[in-house]
Amino acid sequence: MRHRTSHRKLGRVTEHRISMLRNQATDLLRYERIETTVPKAKELRPFVERIISIAKRGLAAGAADGKELHARRLVLRDLQDRDVVGKLFDTIAPRFEARAGGYTRILRTGYRRGDSAEKAQIELVGSEYDPNAETGDDSATAQPKKTGVGGRLRAAAERLRGKKAEGEAEGAEGAENKAKPKRQLKSDKGGRATTKGKASAPRAPRKAGGA
């Protein structure tokens, strides 16, 4: 019978698998979102939520009887970075004080090129990804983003109108260039190039006996 096989082995031995989960948990608590494969994200979710629950219990017990210090030592068994542990107890655990579990969210993001593995982004609840916050782009705040099917269709129609207007402007400019007359050169018998429509200047007669 298959006893004690509730977890995914992920093609790794026990030591390698635990080390990988510890590293991923450290990165998740540091950056609050990471991208990995779906099986790894499903294994990481209970691992990191257990760590957050230990930190919450330690903060709720308080530092009077030393339970907070004991909770920090339990967390330090899995997280070797003291800065991340400090962020966990100072910022992340108080954020989930009124939440009974479910601290992470898994979002499927497609398939990886090469081996077609299904990718997923796992993030902490309450730290939704905002691309404008990192780039400093204020265009989203100045103009509300169009959501829904109707908004996307209107945005596509506006882009098509803009491209059509640019094409018409280029066509009008090309027609103007074609309408302009081009100066064509015509060579006379003497081999000199003259402008079409203009008579060439007559040659001066040579003086008889002159040098």
Its pTM stands at 0.58
83: helix, coil or strand? helix
Cβ-based neighbours of 120, under 8 Å, separated by 6 or more: 35, 36, 37, 38, 41, 106, 107, 108, 109
| Spatial CB neighbours of 60, under 8 Å, sequence gap ≥ 6 | 97
Among residues 39, 181, 47, 57, the alpha carbon closest in space to that of 103 is found at 47
Torsion of CA 68, 99, 19, 26, to 10 degrees: -80
pLDDT score for 210: 52
Position 43 scores a pLDDT of: 93
pLDDT along the chain (211 residues), means of 10: 80 91 94 93 94 91 79 92 92 90 91 91 80 53 56 79 75 66 53 53 62 47
The pLDDT value given to residue 211 = 47
DSSP class of 18: H
Please tell me the predicted confidence (pLDDT) of residue 76.
93
Name 60's bridge partners. none
Report H helices in 32-147. 38-61, 67-76, 82-87, 93-95, 131-135, 139-142
For the chain, what percentages of helix, strand and coil (3-state, to nearest 5) are there?
Answer: 50, 10, 35
